[in-house]
């Protein structure tokens, strides 16, 4: 049985993650290094486990490898970090688009176990945060360049360009074990996994739509739903 991917559900904004740069090996214990910030493997593992609980209704009757959740979590936490650093560089703060989504996610999280709420809110608001910052920094850039009344498309494009070139200066590195790489300006699933995608069965778990039999064969500690 196929299942809905976590990442497309959460990160369709920015036309599939405007990340570029280096997706090479991070330091031991580090899942990703984004500019001056690091995202630990412990943070990714915890967030993936908490999302498994928070989104349990969506996974009912389906089995999803935790590796798939970790891929999505790494991408989204990297985008959150990038967005926050760009916002700081330009002296802007999240606006109404993000605040509305944050309020909605906070309400949704109120019925979840307390220990999963923060990770759920952080990951699920990534799209709104990034879109908000894209528009704000895009508008700021055009204002600095002398534009007095830019169109919505011009603002969005200017912001997207900032996100796209930022990693070339500041860098983004991702541990290859998460099976994602930068391709055509997007951080996407691939076969770069070095630690456990060594067999056809293991690679099935990193596919865009992981094989149901593989997912079901995983130990309970390595899968979500079912």
Q: What is the pLDDT of residues 21-77, one digit of tens each?
A: 455 556 779 999 999 999 999 999 999 999 999 998 887 777 778 888 899 999 999
Token match 């983004």: residue? 172
Here the tokens at position 166 are 């930022």
Average pLDDT over residues 193-210: 42
Q: Is the pLDDT at 193 greater than 60, yes or no?
A: no
Q: What is the pLDDT of residues 76-121, one digit of tens each?
A: 999 999 999 999 999 999 999 999 999 999 999 999 999 999 999 9
Query: Which among 65, 61, 53 is positioned nearest to 5, based on CA atoms?
Result: 65
Which has the higher per-residue pLDDT, 186 or 50?
Answer: 50
Q: What is the pLDDT of residues 112-170, one digit of tens each?
A: 999 999 999 999 999 999 999 999 999 999 999 999 999 999 999 999 999 989 988 89
Token match 């990442």: residue? 7
Separation CA 216–CA 226 (nearest Å): 7
pLDDT for the residue 102? 98
Q: Is the dihedral of CA 79, 177, 185, 35 positive or negative?
A: positive
103-112: b (≥16 Cβ within 10 Å) or e: eebeeebeeb
Pairing mode of beta strands 180-183, 63-65? unpaired
List the chain domain ranges: 6-221
pLDDT for the residue 186? 58
Q: Give the gyration radius of the chain's Cα atoms.
A: 18
Q: Which CATH number is 6-221 given?
A: 1.10.4030
Separation CA 211–CA 90 (nearest Å): 44
Query: What single DSSP character describes residue 57?
Result: T
Q: Is the pLDDT at 182 greater than 60, yes or no?
A: yes
Q: Is the pLDDT at 173 greater than 60, yes or no?
A: yes
pLDDT for the residue 4? 34
pTM score of the predicted model = 0.79
Residue 189 burial class via C-beta count within 10 angstroms: exposed 0-12, middle 13-18, buried 19 and up: buried
pLDDT for the residue 24? 56
């Amino acid at each position: 049985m196929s299942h809905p991917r976590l990442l497309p559900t959460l990160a369709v904004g920015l036309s599939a993650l405007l990340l570029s740069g280096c997706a090479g090996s991070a330091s031991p214990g580090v899942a990703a290094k984004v500019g001056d910030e690091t995202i630990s493997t412990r943070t990714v593992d915890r967030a993936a486990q908490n999302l498994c609980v928070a989104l349990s209704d969506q996974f009912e009757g389906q089995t999803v490898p935790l590796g798939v959740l970790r891929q999505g979590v790494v991408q989204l936490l990297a985008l959150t970090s990038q967005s926050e650093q760009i916002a700081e560089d330009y002296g802007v703060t999240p606006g109404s688009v993000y605040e509305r989504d944050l309020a909605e996610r906070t309400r949704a999280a109120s019925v979840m176990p307390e220990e999963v709420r923060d990770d759920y809110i952080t990951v699920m608001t990534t799209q709104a945060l990034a879109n908000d910052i894209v528009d704000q920094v895009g508008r700021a850039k055009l204002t600095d360049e002398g534009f007095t009344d830019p169109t919505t498309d011009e603002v969005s494009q200017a912001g997207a360009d900032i996100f796209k070139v930022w990693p070339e200066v500041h860098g983004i590195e991702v541990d290859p074990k998460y099976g994602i790489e930068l391709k055509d300006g997007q951080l996407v699933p691939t076969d770069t996994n070095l630690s456990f995608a060594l067999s056809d069965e293991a690679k099935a778990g990193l596919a865009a739509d992981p094989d149901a039999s593989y997912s079901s064969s995983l130990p309970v500690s390595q899968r979500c739903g079912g």
